[in-house]
């Protein structure tokens, strides 16, 4: 292979046939273009043209972290012992794990051994990525529903495993269908990851879904992982169940990821956890111990305050999202774009309107940015089966959402 770039072109290469250092590893080349890179790029281009961009692209909560949580961070950050490396057996670390176990018990009636069945993470995204690294060899399959939150499939690719997508469709309420899976694929599968309430489709499940999944998976030597990031962002009386509520789940290879990012508006703080089967957690902890030093202790104190403090802040946030959802779904209807009203999450999953069906979801998103100054996420950013859709993240105040609707309405009409 010819050398394309060298850091300094005056240097005469000692090994002329050797590929440039600028070539990324093959595992990186196999990754699809990252969703948020696409979104950031579109945003930056529009902003550079002087457009007042309304960003409904990334699921990045705009609401503030509740003050008692910020206060806990503030106090904890001043203590010297909290400024040192986090150590797994430390006092703060032990209390954080206990707070998580207690939360699980209060919330789902699930008993967890705080020491062995809970593992704090630097955000659930980190843990999901490292799960594949911990468990997948290059002949192991990760079964990942599509569309999905990108790290679900990118984690499998980065770890060098084989990605097999399970198509989700409205016809099956965006739940994976197991029947078409061949015996060979099921035999090679080592990991399956689902996430409900679902990002991006907003689909929800009841406990029977997890019961059936565990029934299917328990004889197959497959790690069953659930991503419960949106368990608190639920509306109209719906409550989201946990995989670990299935009797015996944590004795099977079942684990569940969760995060403070959405419930407590702590996305930038980087704190989450995984709970469930102790052996799987031990391997994940071992993997992480070679890579990171855990979570800043002051952030752990803040997360303890979040989980053990008043939960009215969660309800208040949900109410704001519910109002935004109602406003936006109604508003889209008025401009001729019918979408389903989600029971959970702060997203809207919408078909690209029929008169734009000749466009890919990315082309349609580009059109919305250019003509309306509104950024939304293209369905393909969530995997191949996201094509034909876009996702709105309702992370702007109502006034901005109204403006977005007006601008989108003009685009839909002008082009009609
Ligand atoms: C389904 C899902 N899982 C995980 C995450 C990441 O959460 P964290 O901030 O804990 O890494 C997100 C963020 O948008 C998400 O939508």
- 119 forms beta bridges with 274
| H or E element that contains 190 | strand 189-194
The pLDDT tens digits for 366-411 are 999 999 999 999 999 999 999 999 999 999 999 999 999 999 999 9
Give percent of the chain above pLDDT 70.
97
Asked whether 123 lines ligand 1 (CB < 6 A), one says: yes
pLDDT for 3 equals 47
CA of 262 relative to ligand 1 center, distance in Å: 8
Asked whether 272 lines ligand 1 (CB < 6 A), one says: yes
- What the block records as the tokens of 337 is 């774009």
CA of 354 relative to ligand 1 center, distance in Å: 31
The lowest-confidence range among 27-31, 171-175, 278-282, 326-330 is 27-31
Alpha helix locations (H) across 202-245?
Answer: 207-217
CA of 201 relative to ligand 1 center, distance in Å: 14
For 388: left if phi > 0, alpha if psi spans -120 to 50, otherwise beta; the answer is left
Euclidean distance between CA atoms 188 and 166, whole angstroms: 15
CA of 414 relative to ligand 1 center, distance in Å: 36
Asked whether 124 lines ligand 1 (CB < 6 A), one says: yes
CA-nearest residue, atom 6 of ligand 1 = 125
- What the block records as the tokens of 402 is 């109204």
The pLDDT tens digits for 173-222 are 999 998 788 999 999 999 999 999 999 999 999 999 999 999 999 999 99
- Count of residues in the chain: 416
What sign has the CA pseudo-torsion 322, 123, 231, 332? positive
pLDDT for 77 equals 98
- What the block records as the tokens of 114 is 């705080």
Q: What's the CA dihedral at 47, 51, 56, 58 to 10 degrees?
A: 0
- What the block records as the tokens of 73 is 């961070």
pLDDT for 40 equals 86
CA of 30 relative to ligand 1 center, distance in Å: 22
CA-nearest residue, atom 12 of ligand 1 = 229
CA-nearest residue, atom 2 of ligand 1 = 229
Where do the domains of the chain lie, and which CATH numbers do they carry? 26-64+313-414 (3.90.1150.10), 67-308 (3.40.640.10)
Whether the pLDDT of residue 5 is over 70: the answer is no
CA of 229 relative to ligand 1 center, distance in Å: 6
The pLDDT tens digits for 56-98 are 999 999 999 999 999 999 999 999 999 999 998 999 999 999 9
Nearest to 192 by CA among 224, 220, 160: 224
Average predicted confidence (pLDDT) for the chain: 94
Whether the pLDDT of residue 302 is over 80: the answer is yes
CA of 272 relative to ligand 1 center, distance in Å: 9
Asked whether 125 lines ligand 1 (CB < 6 A), one says: yes
pLDDT for 2 equals 44
Asked whether 227 lines ligand 1 (CB < 6 A), one says: yes
Asked whether 256 lines ligand 1 (CB < 6 A), one says: no
């Amino acid at each position: 292979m010819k050398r394309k770039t060298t850091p300094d072109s005056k240097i005469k290469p000692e090994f002329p046939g050797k590929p440039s250092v600028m070539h990324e590893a093959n595992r990186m080349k196999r990754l699809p273009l990252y969703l948020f890179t696409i979104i950031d790029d579109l945003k930056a281009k529009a902003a550079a043209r002087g457009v007042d961009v309304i960003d409904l692209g990334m699921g990045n909560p705009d609401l503030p972290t509740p003050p008692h949580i910020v206060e806990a961070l503030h106090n904890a950050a001043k203590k010297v012992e909290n400024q040192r490396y986090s150590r797994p057996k430390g006092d703060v670390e032990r209390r954080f794990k206990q707070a998580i176990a207690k939360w699980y018990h209060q919330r789902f009636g699930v008993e967890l051994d705080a020491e062995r069945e809970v593992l704090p993470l630097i955000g659930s995204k980190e843990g999901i990525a490292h799960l594949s690294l911990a468990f997948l060899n290059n002949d192991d399959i990760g079964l990942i529903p599509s569309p999905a939150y990108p790290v679900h499939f990118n984690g499998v690719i980065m770890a060098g495993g084989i990605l097999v997508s399970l198509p989700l469709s409205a016809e099956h309420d965006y739940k994976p269908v197991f029947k078409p899976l061949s015996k060979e694929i099921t035999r090679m599968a080592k990991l399956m990851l689902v996430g409900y309430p679902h990002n991006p489709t907003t689909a929800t499940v009841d406990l029977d879904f997890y019961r059936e999944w565990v029934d299917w998976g328990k004889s197959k030597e497959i790690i069953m992982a659930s991503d419960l990031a949106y368990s608190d962002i639920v509306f109209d009386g719906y409550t989201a169940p946990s995989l670990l509520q299935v009797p015996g789940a944590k004795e099977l290879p079942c684990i569940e990821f969760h995060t403070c990012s959405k419930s407590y508006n702590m996305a930038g703080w980087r704190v989450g956890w995984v709970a469930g089967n102790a052996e799987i957690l031990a391997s994940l902890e071992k993997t992480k111990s070679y890579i990171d030093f855990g979570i800043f202790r002051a952030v752990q104190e803040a997360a303890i305050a979040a989980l053990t403090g008043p939960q009215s802040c969660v309800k208040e946030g949900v109410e704001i999202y519910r109002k935004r959802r109602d406003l936006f779904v109604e508003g889209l209807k008025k401009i001729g774009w019918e979408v389903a009203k989600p029971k959970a999450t702060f997203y809207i999953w919408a078909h690209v309107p029929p008169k734009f069906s000749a466009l890919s979801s990315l082309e349609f998103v580009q059109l919305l940015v250019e003509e309306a100054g509104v950024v939304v996420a293209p369905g393909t950013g969530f995997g191949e089966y996201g094509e034909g859709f876009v996702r709105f993240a309702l992370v702007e105040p109502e006034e901005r959402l109204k403006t977005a609707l007006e601008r989108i309405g003009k685009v839909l009409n002008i082009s009609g």
